[in-house]
Amino acid sequence: MRRRSLLIAVPAGMATLAACNDDGASSAESSDSASPSASATSGAPAPKIVDGPLPAITAGAKFGEKPTVAKGSGDPSGQLAVKTVIAGNGRTAAEGDFLVANYLGQIWDTAKVFDNSFDRGSALAIQLAQASVIDGWRYALTGKKVGSRVEFAVPPTWGYGKEGYAEGGIKGTDTLVFVVDMKGVYPVTSSAKGTNVAQDNVDLPKAGTNTDGKAPSIEIPKKDAPAELVSSYVIEGDGEKVAADSGLLVQYKGVLWDSGKEFDSTYARKTLTSFSLDGVVKGWKQGLTGKKVGSRVLIVIPPALGYGDNPPSGSGIEKDSTLVFTVDILAKL
């Protein structure tokens, strides 16, 4: 099952932004496939990194193409076999960074593909950290560069353990083979990159333009909140435009118009978050559609496009609250 994002899963920290169904329940994506994020850390000692054996990639050999991988031959290594198939020259991934990647995973003995992002048409965003991804990914990809294609074979010890992952058809004895195309790496201090845009409307909040990884300020004017959605650039990036159904990796902060009180922030949690615009409140979906990757966007969401009279329990949001956000769009998935 794919790990749900913070905006959808409602763990400690935040149920806000998740869109609600007619019965008031938060919407969420789920899958019976076994993504690399489905297992907690194994707690095992670090593996030895070895060169092989690894099965051949028989088709889809270019970066960005869905690979076809042969069945494993003979017994796999009991350690972590890793090979850089295509060497990139971008940023080097460090432990704790968020990786945006396309990937395919299959079972060594059968070549059965249990999950891949290529068919979904949306890359995975995942943190290379304990309890966020299986240990095999963390050890194989830390130190690799953006633009690289990496193939590696993960024994159960650094995968899903002796229990396996039944929903994905993975037994506790299965070694898993992954091919990962590293599209981007983002430290938790990532910020928007672009050109500052004048904020000269005195009726609207003014957001900070710092890009040092710290939370920007949000100054609320002593005026009535706007009745309509506001979405404007604070910093305008030069990346591709966000579509209405895009998946995004972002940094954000949210405050209440009436009090200026912060109710949620990735900066405070020292993390980034990813989500699909199909799974968040209407104000976010409408406010971010058409904006460019790399930008910081100020969004003012009236109650009708936020939570109205049904805010998430424990969120600190009162009924009929106007919400104010800064959103740094780091990557389109």
Q: Which residues contact 96 (CB under 8 A, 6 or more apart)?
A: 127, 128, 129, 187, 188
Residues 203-218 as b/e (b if ≥16 CB within 10 A, e otherwise) read ebbbbbbebeeebbeb
Give me the mean pLDDT over the 144-173 stretch.
96
Name the amino acid, one letter, at 244: A
For the record, the structure tokens of 74 come out as 């003979």
Query: Strands 80-86 and 49-50: what pairing?
Result: parallel
The pTM of this model reads: 0.90
Q: What is the pLDDT of residue 43?
A: 76
Q: What is the DSSP letter of 78?
A: S
| pLDDT above 60: residue 24 | no
Percent of the chain with pLDDT over 70: 88
> Is pLDDT larger for residue 7 or for residue 80?
80
Percent of the chain with pLDDT over 90: 85
Q: What angle do CA 284, 292, 102 make, to 5 degrees?
A: 90
DSSP 3-state assignment of 127? strand
pLDDT band at 19 (very low <50, low <70, confident <90, very high): low
In angstroms, what CA-CA distances link 299 with 60, 231, 283, 333? 41, 5, 8, 21
273-325 pLDDT, tens digit each: 999 999 999 999 999 999 999 999 999 999 999 999 999 999 999 999 999 99
| pLDDT above 50: residue 53 | yes
Q: What is the pLDDT of residue 7?
A: 22
| pLDDT above 90: residue 41 | no
Average pLDDT, the chain: 90
Give me the mean pLDDT over the 255-268 stretch.
97
- The count of C-alpha atoms lying within 13 angstroms of the C-alpha of 152, restricted to the half-sphere facing its C-beta, is 30
Give me the mean pLDDT over the 191-195 stretch.
98
DSSP 3-state assignment of 116? strand
Residue showing tokens 């193409």: 65
| pLDDT above 60: residue 261 | yes
Q: What is the pLDDT of residue 25?
A: 38
Q: How far apart are CA 105 and CA 152, in angstroms?
A: 10
pLDDT band at 36 (very low <50, low <70, confident <90, very high): confident
Any idea of the CA torsion for 286, 281, 279, 298, to the nearest 10 degrees?
A: 50
pLDDT band at 17 (very low <50, low <70, confident <90, very high): low
Give me the mean pLDDT over the 214-237 stretch.
98
Q: How far apart are CA 326 and CA 331, in angstroms?
A: 15
